[in-house]
Amino acid sequence: MSGEQILEVRAASKSFRRPNGDPLMVLDQVDLTLRENELVGLLGRSGSGKSTLLRLIAGLSKPNGGSVEYLGQTVVGPPQGIAMVFQSFALFPWLTILDNVEIGLEAMGVAPAEMRSRALRAIDMIGLDGYESAFPRELSGGMRQRVGFARAVVMHPNILLMDEPFSALDVLTAETLRTDFLDLWSEGQLPIKAAILVTHNIEEAVQMCDRILLFASNPGKIMLELKIDLPHPRNRQDPAFRALVERIYVAMTARPGAAAARGEKVPGFQISSILPRVSTNLLAGMTEEVAKEPYRGHADLPEIAERLQLEIDELFPVAETLQMLRLAELEGGDIRLTEAGKHFAESDVAGKKRIFAQNLIAHLPLAAHIRHVLDERPNHEAPRSRFSEELEDHMTPEAAEMTLRTVINWGRFAEVFAYDDDGQRFTLENPS
């Protein structure tokens, strides 16, 4: 049962400055409450502002608008009673496991005897008894992350913030650590009152959380709040569990999929849009997987994700790129190949290149823009800087680099233009 409210985020917004000075909105009017005995999940794609919100709650950053209140007080810096577990293990390699766990207590001025007692209890509770004198280099990734948990819970925080704590681990290790954490949480052995989990793993969120806040991107905002009433331990094959997973997939694909299904232009893809790192091999592999039995061109995204062992940050960029290029449509948590997508899946390499080239120029403005510039110039060449500077007016240099690298790879595969990396120039040298 949930208890008293201990955290409230009201209309929190956060923006950063683009290179051209314009604001880049990362979080937009986000509300969140947290009560005792709750484990709340923040679920969404990378870049949807989940970790930014966690930093606001931890007092590591300040909102541009709205407020964060912990125990009735506005958070203006890191408050006592809130601890965080990070995706990276963030351990001091020159310290033993015991020293790593004690270091936060030492900074708080806890007496040596109590510090040692609490650290040993935390190490034992988290399953690392016997490793007190070991160094991080001697431990596996899963064991190092256990140290991260021990270092957080030894502080006896009211709120434990977890920023994708299992994502750097292999599948089996992550599942073991999740299960152990849930056992300790359900049995009341963890000295914490509530927790917030940031994740982009849909099944992880449904398995662990009491409530899920689903984030949309650009800017980050809450598009759905979902209460999970299933008792622990939760069975992933339970129809009720699968129904919740399906509902989240439906919510994440509803709007762009519906537009594509009606033949409308999917919004957001402009010359200045950030392109994901998706290889043509992944695009071809996905269409071929959906085209074959038992799907025959129409597949359930959760089933495809489970079959191919893909999380949403891996699955959705591929599926959305196929939609952007009109090789597939997304709707209701499903992916359906278009006629062009079916031909693409069934074609040989030459056929795939021809279909990809047609759809790339027709539906990706940046690729069409590059090709148009090359066609118009007498020497059919253009420096990379011609396009990178244009993109950097709308995005960070890192995003511009990723976008250009992606369109270069796609353009090379389609043979609609060539690129000389040594000379940093686009050309029409290879296309016929």
Per-residue pLDDT reduced to its tens digit, 381-396: 999 999 998 888 877 7
Percent of the chain with pLDDT over 70: 94
What mean pLDDT do residues 107-131 have?
88
The tens digit of pLDDT for each residue in 134-160 reads: 999 998 888 888 898 888 888 889 999
Q: Check pLDDT > 50 for residue 362.
A: yes
What mean pLDDT do residues 213-236 have?
90
Higher pLDDT pick, 89 / 345: 345
For tokens 């290879």, the residue is: 430
Q: Check pLDDT > 50 for residue 62.
A: yes
Band of the pLDDT at 173, cuts 50, 70, 90?
Answer: confident
Q: Label residues 205-236 b or e (16+ Cβ within 10 Å = b).
A: bbbbbbbbbbbbbbbbbbbbebebeeeeebee
What mean pLDDT do residues 82-104 have?
88
Band of the pLDDT at 196, cuts 50, 70, 90?
Answer: very high
**First CA to last CA distance, the chain:** 68
Q: Check pLDDT > 90 for residue 414.
A: yes
Query: How far is Cα 36 from Cα 6, in angstroms, rounded to an integer?
Result: 7
Residue type, 380: H
What integer pLDDT is reported at residue 260 of this predicted model? 41
Band of the pLDDT at 208, cuts 50, 70, 90?
Answer: very high
User: How would you write 145-181 as a 3-class SS string?
Assistant: HHHHHHHHHCCCCCEEEEECCCCCCCHHHHHHHHHHH
Percent of the chain with pLDDT over 90: 54
Contact 373, 421 (CB under 8 A): no
Strands 65-70 and 425-427: unpaired
Least confident span in 63-72, 256-265, 357-366:
256-265
What integer pLDDT is reported at residue 48 of this predicted model? 85
Query: How far is Cα 30 from Cα 213, in angstroms, rounded to an integer?
Result: 10
Sign, Cα dihedral of 176, 181, 182, 187: positive
Band of the pLDDT at 47, cuts 50, 70, 90?
Answer: confident
Q: Check pLDDT > 60 for residue 281.
A: yes
What integer pLDDT is reported at residue 175 of this predicted model? 87
Least confident span in 27-36, 267-276, 277-286:
267-276
What integer pLDDT is reported at residue 88 of this predicted model? 77
Contact 214, 198 (CB under 8 A): no
Higher pLDDT pick, 56 / 171: 56
Query: How far is Cα 41 from Cα 124, in angstroms, rounded to an integer?
Result: 27
Band of the pLDDT at 430, cuts 50, 70, 90?
Answer: low
What integer pLDDT is reported at residue 166 of this predicted model? 85
What integer pLDDT is reported at residue 268 of this predicted model? 44
Mean pLDDT of the chain: 87
